[in-house]
Structure formats: C-alpha cells, structure tokens
C-alpha cells in the first residue's frame, strides 16, 4: 500500500500527529488502518479480529496520551497492529511477522513506544502498576495505562495486580477492552457478569451505555460489575462504546484527571469492520489469504489456505490420538487453558463435551485442577503449549509431583515456533521439567509413536510430559510403533559407522535426512530415536559412543539444561572416558525471535544440512586422517 500524503494514515509519522486531526479525519484514519491491516495480514498472516476491534480505541489512546513519555502497556499484544501503525512503523508494516521483519507482538527493540515485550496474557497490569509506583517514588508525573481484554482480566496475575493497585492507590488507568471473546469463546463467572453488562443484540439495537439491575435477566439481577472493581479500590467508569472515537477521547480525558487507580470499561467487537470476522470470531482470530480489492468481483469472505500442507499437523495427530484413547477409557479427561483450537481439544470437546474442561487463561489453576481430577479417580490430560506450561510450573511441582498425582502434560509447540516469536518459543520445557523427581519426559518421532506414547502414558502411574513441535508430522517410519518401554530408545538407521545421531522426538526426521546427505559424501552415520529425555537410555547411548567416533545429541530445545545436557550427565556418571566423543546440537543460549520455523532450524544448525556439517566438523577434529579421504569435505557448505 502506498503512503499517499493525501491519505490520513500517510500523514501519521508518530502519535504527535494525531493531536491536530478533526473528528472526520479520525473516522477516515480508522478506515485506512483497517484496510492496511487487511492487506498485510492477508498476505503475511497474523492476529486479525483483535486488531480490527481496537482501532478507534488505539487512536483515542494516542490522541489523549503522550507516548512514550506516558506509558501504554498492551496485554498479550494480539491487538497491537494499530498501535504499530500510529507509532512510526507504517513504512515497515509490510514486513509484519516475516523473517527479520516486524514482530507480530509488542517488541521493545522495535520502538520506544513498545513498553515491554508481550505475548502471554495477564502481564500488562502488573508491569503498568510497577511503572506507576516507580515513577511516583522518583517524583515523575506521567500517566501509565494498561489495556487488558475481558479474557485476560480473569488471569490470576491481573487480578493480583488489581487487588494490589486498589490497596496502594497509585495513579494508573486500566482499560478493560471487553469484546466478549478470547481466542475461543471465554468462560467463567466474571465473563458471565460482563456479558450481562454488555447485554445482547447489535450496537444499533442495543447502544452501549451503563446498565442497571433493571436491564439484566432475572438470574443476574442485582449484579454490579462496577461495584466489584470499586470494592477492590479502583474507580470504575463505563461502559463506553469502543467504536466511537470521540466518546473514547472524552472518557479518557475524564479518567486522565483522576488521582488514583481507575478502570475504564470499553465495549468493542472483535473483527469490527470486517463482517465475516464478527460472525465467526474464532476462525478470524488469526487469518491469511482473504483480501481482495474492494471493487474486485473475486473478493473472498473467508480465510483461504492456498498452500495447505498435505501432511497433518502434530496438533491434529494428537487430537485424533486423544479422541481414540478417550473412546477406549471413560476415565480420560482433557483440560485446556483457553486454547481448545490451538491444542486440538476443540475436536475432543465435540466428541466428549462432558469430559473437556476449558478453565480460561489460568494455567496455574489448570494444573492444580488436573491434580484434583486425578484425586477423584480420572486420568487428566493437560493440553498446553510448552511456553504456557511455564506459568503453571509451581503447580506441576507442588500439586502433581509432590502429591504423586499422575497426569499427562501434552505440550504442543515444543521447540522453535516460527512466526510467533520470542515470547512463544518452547525451548525450555525439558530443562525445567527434568529436574522434578519421578517425572517422565518423552517425545514421539511420528504419529504412530505419538499414539503409542499417549496410550502408554495413560496406563501408567507417573507424570508424563509429552512434547511435539508446531509443524507437520513426517511420514511414519512404520505403520505401528514398536512397544514403548520406559527409558528405552531404538536404533532406526545403521548401528555402526563414523558418527551417530542420538535424536529426540521430531528431530529424528532431521537426523535421518542428515544421515542420507552424509552417506552421499562417503560417511556412514547411525540414527537413534532416543524416545525419552528422562530417563535417558544410558545403555544405548554408551553403546553408540563405543561404536562411533562421534555421537551428536539432537534436540529442538535450548542446549543449556536440555536433552543433550541430560545425556552428557548420564555418560559422565556411567562412562566418563567416553564423554569426549559426545557433542550437543540444540538451540544456542539466546532468545530466538520470529521467522519461519525452517529458517530458525537452519540458523540453529538443526536442519539436515546443519546437522551434516556438525558431523563433518566433529569428525575432522577427532579423526582428520579419516576425513582427508572424503573429497567432498573440502566444501564447508556441503
């Protein structure tokens, strides 16, 4: 999209340029922002509905406040695209979510207007309150605003922050962006209360306005949402129409002058300005491939998948496996923390609605809830992203492990996650889980093995953490996976030779591809499917070290404290004389930002070419005479 100076958006190089706009200009600006988001998200992919819903709110915030002197903290930052467009990033917005391009979330390195990295729900109000308190202590007189969705406000961290804010009385503003949605449909008692305030019908038939008990259905009569926040110690203002820019500016000017913590309740519609997204907010939470010119008769009204992969995703494979396992055992139940679609539990819920629990964005509660379900005699499967399980870590230790309550931790997005970037990387789960006594860690190489591991885990009496990446499943090596035995791996290629890959989970496929590359260069390499990161198959690992010059552990995880570290520790305890033959291939000790997963694997040296190069480099160091006979090794790139 060109930046025509006659357009309003083209004249905005920063928030200061908004101050002189007329109401008519602001209406036009909102229209242009939505058009730009449509164009770029359609091509690059990204969060759609949430961004379309906060355009007027973002214009109002940057009109009233003076960022970056005033701090605006966006919770999750699913809704930060209008903010990016108004804070000097319009020229690079086309690079959204591309490799080395603009992040799809708030990103401190991109702009001084991004107060914090964001990607997890519930963090903004704590950060904002900390800034407000710190500035007060230093005598600084600036405003601090957190923008929180109605799904995020029920997270424990947000409620803790509101409780604290009301107690200490520091000046700050919490904008509750209430659109009645999470990624999926939200749950919980507070959501029910907010729904009552919001009412039913369209904005035209049911204008946004403060509502009293007389407006509520009989079972909700007497409900006082504003009173809940006021009893915590916050002033409550609203609800305000979140698509009326002038009303928002007036409301923000009003709360700006208050001296303590204030909650401004704003009603918006997820997907506003794009009717299909309003009608189906779940499908349109994130989208790609839908935009056509407004006058193009080929215009599409639904997200497209022009390059849909032929292979199913790991998420789909897990979903099928769990449904089958639940069909065989009525005690199997599933839990999600507001991510039924992302974890594959949406399909499970259709099959077993009475055995699927969505607890909202409450990972700590989800994990403790799993402990209770096990105590009641059920077999809980907590389906959760690796990065989000970090938020329930204490409950894994305190409520599952110490209590001896077995559960299956089904960790999706283990490893490098691609375009979602730094806050979503699942690079730490092996390290933070393998130190917990009696907990088992396993990862499948393909779909048959995933099915076998899940059934095996559900039959046992230990906590089992299973992990898989955000990727498609490879072609299975065998129709049926060989039986799963605790702590036992298996050789899937070779057995003797120059070097061996001791690979974990989905990295077996990359190790096999590297092994084939090396065979064309005159090097014989074996591939082991380790299956378990805890306990390590020490006997098999030692055997490979005895039979090969070099053994390289391969994991889609941080090298520090991960699978390779566990292997080195095990060898050091059993055969310290062989440790010198061991090499660790994982993600280097640094945070990884957004980009396509294949590129991230390449950069970490974990794709087939990178793994092959690791073998050549290791062998060159350990047996140079042997490698001088391999002519192709003269090319470092292979």
**pLDDT tens digits for range 508-522:** 999 999 999 999 999
Flag whether pLDDT at 96 surpasses 90.
Answer: no
Average pLDDT over every residue of 27-53: 87
Q: What is the largest CA-CA distance in the chain?
A: 89
For residue 446, the number of C-alpha atoms closer than 13 Å in the C-beta half-sphere is 17
pLDDT digit string, tens, across residues 482-504: 999 999 999 999 878 899 999 99
pLDDT at res. 626: 53
**pLDDT of the residue at 90:** 84
Average pLDDT of 110-115?
A: 86
> Among 169, 166, 162, which residue's Cα sits nearest to residue 190?
162
Angle at 103 between CA 101 and CA 104, to 5 degrees: 130
Contact 496, 526 (CB under 8 A): yes
pLDDT at 149 over 50: yes
Using one digit for the tens of pLDDT, what is the confidence trace for 282-335? 777 777 777 655 544 344 555 655 455 578 999 999 999 999 999 999 999 999
Say yes or no to pLDDT of 219 above 50: no
Instruction: Check pLDDT > 80 for residue 72.
Output: yes
pLDDT at 629: 46
* pLDDT (0 to 100) of residue 92: 84
Specify whether the CB–CB gap between 464 and 440 falls below 8 A. yes
Q: Which fold has domain 19-279?
A: Rossmann fold (3.40.50)
Residue-averaged pLDDT of the chain: 84
Nearest to 387 by CA among 471, 469, 313: 469
Token readout for 454 is 């899940």
- CA distance linking residue 32 with residue 23, whole number of Å: 14
Taking CA atoms, 442 is separated from 80, 386, 392, 430, in Å, by: 37, 14, 19, 10
| Nearest-10 crossing angle of helices 538-547, 563-574 | 80
* pLDDT tens readout for residues 420-460: 878 888 899 999 999 999 999 999 999 999 999 999 999 99
pLDDT, residue 545, reads: 96
State in words which class domain 491-634 has.
alpha beta
Element (H or E) spanning 410, and its range?
Answer: strand 408-412
Q: What is the pLDDT of residue 275?
A: 78
Residue 514 in contact with residue 525, Cβ under 8 Å?
A: yes
pLDDT of 638 above 60? no
In the numeric block, which tokens belong to residue 252?
Answer: 């923000």
Statement: residue 372 has pLDDT above 70:
yes
Q: Which residues of 338-353 are buried (b: 16+ CB within 10 A; e: fewer)?
A: bbbbbbbbbbbbeebe
- pLDDT digit string (tens) for 379-392? 999 999 999 999 99
d(CA 388, CA 420) in angstroms, rounded, equals: 13
* Paired strand residues for 380: 333
Grouping H, G, I as helix, E, B as strand and the rest as coil, residue 332 is strand
Q: Does the pLDDT at position 111 exceed 50?
A: yes
**Topology match between the domains 19-279 and 314-467:** yes
Q: For residues 276 and 575, give the distance between their C-alpha atoms in angstroms, rounded to a whole number.
A: 62
CA dihedral angle for residue 368, residue 372, residue 378, residue 383, rounded to 10 degrees: -10
Mean pLDDT for the stretch of residues 547-573:
95
Alpha-carbon distance of 420 to 6, in angstroms, equals 34
Q: In this predicted structure, which of 86-95, 207-216, 465-474 has the lowest mean pLDDT?
A: 207-216
Residue 328's Cβ-count burial label (10 Å; 0-12, 13-18, 19+) is exposed
Is residue 585 within 8 A of residue 567, CB to CB? The reply is no
Choose among 90, 91, 92: nearest CA to 33: 90
Could you tell me the residue ranges of all domains in the chain?
Answer: 19-279, 314-467, 491-634
Q: How much is the pLDDT for 604?
A: 93
Residue 214, CB half-sphere, CA atoms under 13 Å: how many?
1
Question: Burial, 547: exposed, middle or buried (Cβ in 10 Å; 0-12, 13-18, 19+)?
Answer: middle
Q: What is the CATH number of domain 314-467?
A: 3.40.50.970
Q: Dump pLDDT digits (tens) for 236-265.
A: 988 899 899 999 999 999 999 888 899 999
What is the percent of the chain with per-residue pLDDT over 70, rounded to a whole number? 87
In Å, how far are 47, 444, 487, 555 from 567, measured between CA atoms? Answer: 39, 18, 12, 11
Phi and psi, residue 263, nearest 5°: -110, 120
Instruction: Round to whole Å and give the CA distance between 157 and 155.
Output: 5
User: How many CB atoms lie under 10 A from the CB of residue 459?
Assistant: 11
Q: In angstroms, how far is the first alpha carbon of the chain from the final one?
A: 41
| pLDDT at residue 423, as a whole number | 80
Q: What pLDDT does 296 receive?
A: 45
Q: How far apart are CA 217 and CA 126, in angstroms?
A: 34
Distance CA 96, CA 104 (A): 6
Cβ neighbours of residue 373 under 8 Å, at least 6 residues apart? 333, 335, 380, 407
Contact criterion met (CB below 8 Å) for 379 and 461: no
Closest listed residue to residue 81, CA positions, set 299, 255, 273: 273
CA angle, residues 94, 593, 277, in degrees to nearest 5: 50
Of the two residues 411 and 361, the one the predictor is more confident about is 411
DSSP string, 347-406: HHHHH-GGGEEE--S-HHHHHHHHHHHHHTT-EEEEEEEHHHHGGGHHHIIIIIITTT--
CA distances from 507 to 184, 420, 478 (A): 31, 20, 17
Residue 360's pLDDT is 83
Confidence of residue 94 (pLDDT cuts 50, 70, 90): confident
Active-site amino acid positions: 270, 363, 391
The residue whose two tokens read 């995020």 is 152
């Amino acid at each position: 999209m060109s930046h025509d100076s006659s357009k309003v958006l083209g004249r905005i190089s920063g928030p200061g340029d908004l101050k002189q706009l007329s109401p008519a200009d602001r209406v036009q600006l909102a229209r242009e922002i939505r058009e730009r988001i449509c164009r770029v998200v359609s091509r690059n992919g990204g969060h759609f509905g949430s961004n379309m819903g906060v355009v007027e709110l973002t214009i109002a915030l940057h009109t009233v406040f003076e960022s970056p002197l005033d701090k605006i903290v966006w919770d999750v930052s699913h809704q930060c695209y209008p903010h990016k467009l108004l804070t000097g990033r319009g020229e690079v917005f086309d690079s959204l979510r591309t490799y080395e391009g603009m992040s799809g979330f708030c990103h401190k390195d991109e702009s001084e207007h991004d107060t914090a990295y964001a990607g997890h729900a519930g963090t903004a109000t704590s950060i904002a309150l900390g800034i407000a308190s710190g500035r007060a202590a230093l005598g600084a007189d600036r405003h601090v605003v957190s923008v929180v969705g109605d799904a995020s406000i029920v997270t424990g961290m947000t409620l803790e922050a509101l409780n604290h804010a009301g107690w200490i009385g520091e000046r700050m503003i919490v904008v509750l962006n209430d659109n009645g949605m999470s990624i999926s449909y939200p749950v919980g008692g507070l959501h029910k209360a907010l729904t009552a305030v919001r009412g039913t019908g369209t904005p035209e038939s049911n204008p946004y306005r403060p509502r009293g008990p007389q407006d509520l259905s009989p079972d909700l009569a007497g409900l006082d949402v504003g009173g809940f926040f006021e009893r915590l110690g916050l002033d409550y203002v609203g609800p305000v129409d979140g698509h009326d820019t002038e009303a928002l500016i007036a409301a923000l000017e009003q709360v700006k002058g208050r001296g303590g913590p204030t909650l401004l309740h704003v009603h918006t519609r997820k997907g506003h300005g794009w009717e299909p997204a309003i009608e189906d907010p779940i499908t349109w939470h994130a989208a790609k491939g839908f935009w056509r010119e407004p006058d193009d008769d080929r215009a599409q009204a639904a997200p497209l998948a022009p390059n849909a992969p032929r292979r199913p995703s790991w998420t789909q494979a897990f979903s099928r496996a769990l449904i089958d396992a639940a069909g065989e055992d009525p005690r199997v139940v599933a839990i999600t923390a507001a991510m039924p679609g992302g974890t594959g539990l949406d399909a499970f819920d259709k099959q077993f609605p009475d055995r699927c629990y969505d607890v909202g964005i409450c990972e700590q509660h989800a994990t403790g809830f799993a402990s209770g379900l096990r105590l009641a005699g059920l077999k809980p499967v907590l389906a959760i992203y690796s990065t989000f399980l970090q938020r329930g870590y204490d409950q894994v230790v305190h409520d599952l492990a110490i209590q001896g309550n077995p559960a299956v931790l089904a960790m999706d997005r283990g490893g490098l996650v691609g375009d979602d970037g730094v806050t979503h990387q699942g690079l730490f789960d092996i390290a933070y889980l393998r130190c917990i006594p009696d907990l088992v860690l396993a990862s499948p190489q393909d779909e048959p093995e995933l099915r076998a591991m899940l059934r095996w885990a559900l039959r046992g009496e230990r906590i089992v953490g299973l992990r898989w990446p955000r990727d498609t499943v490879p072609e299975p090596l065998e129709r049926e996976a060989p039986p799963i035995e605790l702590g036992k791996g298996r050789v899937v290629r070779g057995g003797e030779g120059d070097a061996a890959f001791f690979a974990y989970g989905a990295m077996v496929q990359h190790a096999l591809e590297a092994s084939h590359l090396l065979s064309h260069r005159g090097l014989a390499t074996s591939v082991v499917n380790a299956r378990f990161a805890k306990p390590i198959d020490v006997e098999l690992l030692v055997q490979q070290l005895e039979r090969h010059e070099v053994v390289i552990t391969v994991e889609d995880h941080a090298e520090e404290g991960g699978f390779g570290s566990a292997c080195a520790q095990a060898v050091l305890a059993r055969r310290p004389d062989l440790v010198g033959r061991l090499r660790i291939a994982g993600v280097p000790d640094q945070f990884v930002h957004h980009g396509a997963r294949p590129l991230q694997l390449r950069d970490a040296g974990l794709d087939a070419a990178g793994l092959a190069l690791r073998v050549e480099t290791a062998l060159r160091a350990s047996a140079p005479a042997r490698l001088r006979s391999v002519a192709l090794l003269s090319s470092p790139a292979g």
